[in-house]
Chain A
Amino acid sequence: MAAPRSNREFIEACVKSGDAVRIKQEVDWENEAGAIVRRACELAAPAPFMEKIKDYPGFSYFGAPLSTYRRMAISMGMDPASSLPEIGREYVKRTNGEVVPPVLVDRKDAPCKENILKGADVDLCKLPVPLVHDGDGGRYVGTWHAVVTKHPVRGDVNWGMYRQMMWDSRTMSGAVFPFSDLGKALNDYYLPRGETCPFATAIGLSPLAAMAACAPSPIPEPELVGMLAGEPARLVKCETNDLEVPADAEIILEGEIFPDYKVEEGPFGEYTGYRTSPRDFRVTFRVNCITYRNNATMTISNMGVPQDEGQLLRSFSLGLELEKLLKSQGIPVTGVYMHPRSTHHMMIVGVKPTYSGVAQQIGQLAFGSKLGPWFHMVMVVDDQTDIYNWDEVYHAFCTRCHPENGIHIYRNAPGTPLYPFATPHERKYSIGSKVVFDCLWPTDWDRINDVPTLVSFKNVYPKDVQEKVTSNWTAYGYPPVK
């Protein structure tokens, strides 16, 4: 099965496999669409494809695009029943492979150019921008999208998923964190010079393009999409600046970021499951041109309590990128996993505990890396603990982590303004605190006399007894174990 090349191919594949439902009755852009997406996330239900939107004939919505591992497998062109470790291995294989550069296509071959609004015709309200959650500070244009920019000096292209609220018909305000690639370019270059930064927002991307836009990978996103998809991403030139955008995207907004003029943004329902970050003056995007496909589909991610694509996908890619980083440093890791229900706040790292201090070394590398601001807990367990099995991890944590010697706290590290536990001051300045939970037996303990023996079916009985009991299980009168 090939990876879907566009949002449309993805919807079709999901409908076919039972992972999306077509909603034919009219849906209101104000709250109703958002509520459907939220409920679908909380029930891990199929993704809603809403074909009729109040006030917006000809447009549709696709919500919760990647909020289940099944849909993630479909987006990679894999069997929807693939397990998480299988999807993870495939992601690592593809992203460690040959770089696949994008190709530039002619405007006539780019569906995103089917309709073009410029000058006085530009009005964001002509698009079905949803009010995602009741009480949100505005209607959010960008919830599942890519903001495309190019570094003014190095020339490298960045696609980032930074939320964008409609402020008025031509203005959006967005949360671009200072440690993100775009945040750094704005603060290092554009703000001191008072220059505007050209941008394009692409909405309704192929699922792998969206995955690339929110992946914390060092590989430039247009190449990353090609590597994930196994074929080059198709890009096309913008109408009003020289950025290149995915040709098959449903909607493109072109414009400039005004680094020295800010308007209010938020509050907004966030991936932590709360509205945490306050309304504030954030980055201002001025829209100069809108292009869109006929019968365009707007994608909606509705962030809140688990589980939505913010948690699922970011946990997935943050974990795998950390695994790559730790392996590149020669750390004897056996796996890294972030449970989506941690709202990507806890890294669980499995390691062969062959030397002392390895848990702290892992914590320092993790928190000190580009990935670090996004989580504040690292839990290190040994290679006998199944990192994907929360019961085992929790047992290791509660029994092996010494309250004094096993908990290491780091203060004044980078954090996000979205941390629900952070003080208002810490949120305002993106300051974080971090903690390592070392759940390894200390290497200076005597293996025979000091380290407790795990008392489990698998660990204390001889193999032949285990086999006898397992094979006789139903004969004893128990139902079969799945």
Chain B
Amino acid sequence: MAPLGQTSQHQPWVEKYRPKQVKDVAHQDEVVRVLTNTLQTSNCPHMLFYGPPGTGKTTTALAVAHQLYGPELYRSRVLELNASDDRGINVVRTKIKGFAAVAVGSTQRQGGYPCPPFKIIILDEADSMTEDAQNALRRTMETYSKVTRFFFICNYISRIIEPLASRCAKFRFKPLSEEVMSSRIQHICNEEGLNLDAEALSTLGSISQGDLRRAITYLQGAARLYGSSITSSDLISVSGVVPVEVVESLFTACKIGNFDLANKEVNNIIAEGYPVSQVLSQVFDLIIESGELSDEQKARISQKLAEADKCLVDGADEYLQLLDAASDTIRALHNMPQEFSYET
């Protein structure tokens, strides 16, 4: 929780409009239904929330904890650890175990909050915990399951070891649909006195790709830059998506088949500072939708784009990867053999 005594007017909008109650979490209906039930019966299993960024995982976990205990008991009953805390084996064995082991007192409701007879340990961003540390958690979870519940939160469920995952009720947080995002955005617009037309609203939905946090940040950026009437193009310019023309002129150069021309386009993209991973994904959209290419050509280019994207994730140079992908695209478009001629 944010330290007390801070006025929300000094916070960025993403924090200002973070839902405080489970029922206000948008779109994650199944999750909300189960959790509302939990809040009524004051009983809950270990839980695992997973899904892409900005879909409400942290928000939900914090809201549940607050609604269960209220402000007074929160500090003594809830331990929130995230990737900004050291969570190596040592911490698991000392801090986490220590907190988990403490018995809890009275079970009566207090100040209108259910205050169930267990504590909650929220492990946010749990996918960044090492396997060893996760393994060390198994015993603790089992031993103290009467008095402690664990909430795991992560983007990638595959990074949570099976023995932990299998002990939890799993909740998938879906990327938010455009309608849901629109209604949340509308709400914020009303509060902030902004004007967004239908086109802008739908643009915002599509450029933020189901990530509500991103949508809110774009909205705030656009509001500061362009005033209270915001158009679709204002949003595009704050979002940093690569303009279609840029991607198209790279693709055209590839179609012409001149290496130097393609190299010039690549150099330009780099100098303009466009994120190459973004360019690759837009090239991908372009070729997939293209009616001129054969399936084989599409397959060949897609494969190369995927490889380049992986290399970027490994930290490879953006210019070299984009140039290599462009060169391969040229070769695929002109049906040149996949193998090189002079390689030995």
The finding on whether chains A and B are genuine partners in a shared complex, rather than unrelated, reads no
